[in-house]
Amino acid sequence: MTQLALASRLDLSAVQPLATALRERSGADLVIDASDVSHLGALGLQVLGAAAISWRAAGHRLQIAPRSDAFDAALQTFGIPLSALESEPVP
Spans of all domains in the chain:
2-85
3-state secondary structure of 63: strand
Give CATH superfamily name and number for 2-85: STAS domain (3.30.750.24)
Mean predicted confidence (pLDDT) in 12-26: 97
pLDDT tens digits, 26-77: 999 999 999 999 999 999 999 999 999 999 999 999 999 999 999 999 999 9
What is residue 88's predicted lDDT score, i.e. its pLDDT?
87
Q: How far from each other are the two terminal CA atoms of the chain, in whole angstroms?
A: 16
Q: What is the pTM for the complete model shown?
A: 0.95
